[in-house]
Amino acid sequence: MKEKILIGVIGRTYGIKGYVTVKSYSDFPERFTAMKEMKLSGGNEEEIFNIEDAYIRNNRIYVKFEGVNSREEAMRFNGKKIFINKDERVNLEEGRYYISDLIDSDVFDKNNQCIGVVKDIINNGATDILVIRDGKTENLVPMVKEFIDIIDTDNKKVVISPIEGMIDAH
């Protein structure tokens, strides 16, 4: 079974011709205008709907599904989640990573001593921060080249060079 990634949710209807709004969870909202179909899930049901039209105006995404021609017909999509398969994600440039690829990565220092596991990533505006837990403590490490030596998403491994005092002693 392919891993699915949540990229958005259907919002309210728009106009009287069957359009819906989309709340995007993606850093790439333009992806919605290029899609030919959408995988929607509401509870345990997953359905695929063909897209008749999609556009972005004033930073809002609007989508019309084939065969949906009125506001009333479009209302049934409200709140449905939009998924893609993991292999359909946008390819990132070198040095950029998907959060989901970093979560649960083992973190080591440059001496190969295990520091913990990435449990979250905080975006504080200036830079992303790795939240590393070892069961007892939580350490925060900015994702900047001065501290991050290696990120290997294939092997779920991160190697860091923390400065003195950055990592709590056990």
- The CATH classification number of 4-88 equals 2.40.30.60
Domain ranges for the chain, please list them.
4-88, 99-160
pLDDT of residue 43: 77
12-23 burial code (b ≥16 CB/10 A, e <16): ebbeeebbbbbe
Structure tokens at 50: 């063909």
pLDDT of residue 1: 58
pLDDT tens for the chain, residues 1 to 170:
578 889 999 999 999 999 999 999 988 999 999 999 999 998 788 899 999 999 999 999 999 999 999 999 999 999 999 999 988 888 888 888 888 889 999 999 999 999 999 999 998 878 899 999 998 899 999 999 999 999 999 999 999 998 888 887 65
How far, in Å, CA of 63 to CA of 57, rounded? Answer: 11
How far, in Å, CA of 43 to CA of 75, rounded? Answer: 16
pLDDT of residue 42: 84
Nearest to 4 by CA among 50, 32, 38: 38
pLDDT of residue 20: 98
pLDDT of residue 120: 92
Query: What is the biggest distance separating any 2 CA atoms in the chain, rounded to whole angstroms?
Result: 63
CATH of 99-160 among 2.30.30.240, 3.90.226.10, 3.30.360.10, 1.10.1240.10: 2.30.30.240
pLDDT of residue 169: 61
54-75 burial code (b ≥16 CB/10 A, e <16): beeeeeebbbbbeebeebeebe
pLDDT of residue 98: 87
Q: Is 123 helix (H, G, I), strand (E, B) or coil?
A: strand
